[in-house]
Amino acid sequence: MRHSDASDLQGLTQSTGSLSEIMGELEGATSSYERALTFNAGSVPAMMAISCILRAKDSFPAAVEYLKQILRLEPTNGEVWSSLGTLIITAVLSPVDTDVTRSLLPHDGRPSAGILRISAGPLPPSRSQGKPDPG
């Protein structure tokens, strides 16, 4: 199969996934996005969409795994870091199974500021050195 054919099929399956999501067919959407990943294993839009569906289904650990895969490919992707932080906060505050929540937190089972600090990245030099922000 030529690269352009695989790219076209990936786009088509992702579009089918989006349409299925709009129609409320989450299983069909997930299948379409997974099919898109067979054409391009590094498809960030497909992995992000699957993660969102899994989060909506309270499948937090599986959603986190997709986000981690994206971060391996794009470690500075702010949208993914934001989704990961939101997912962790949702899991901590949700009445969902505590074993699931614990699996998303550090080994001691308590949330830490480090989780959010990692997602936000370092502060700009002017703020971290105590200088007033010129803006």
The model's pLDDT over 88-131, given as tens digits with 9 standing for 90+, comes to: 887 777 665 555 555 555 554 444 444 443 444 444 454 444 44
* 5 confidence band (pLDDT: 50, 70, 90): low
* Range with the largest mean pLDDT of 16-30, 58-72, 87-101, 119-133: 58-72
pLDDT average, residue stretch 28-46: 89
Query: Do the Cβ atoms of 79 and 114 come closer than 8 Å?
Result: no
Query: Do the Cβ atoms of 17 and 33 come closer than 8 Å?
Result: yes
pLDDT average, residue stretch 82-93: 82
119: which residues sit within 8 A by CB, 6+ positions away?
A: 81, 82, 84, 85
What is the rounded CA–CA span in Å between residue 20 and residue 67? 21
What pTM, to 2 d.p., does this model score?
A: 0.64
- Phi/psi region, residue 58 (left: phi>0; alpha: psi -120 to 50; beta: rest), is left
Query: Do the Cβ atoms of 33 and 13 come closer than 8 Å?
Result: yes
pLDDT average, residue stretch 25-46: 89
H or E segment at 57?
Answer: none
Length of the chain: 135
What is the rounded CA–CA span in Å between residue 128 and residue 95? 36
For the chain, give the mean pLDDT. 73
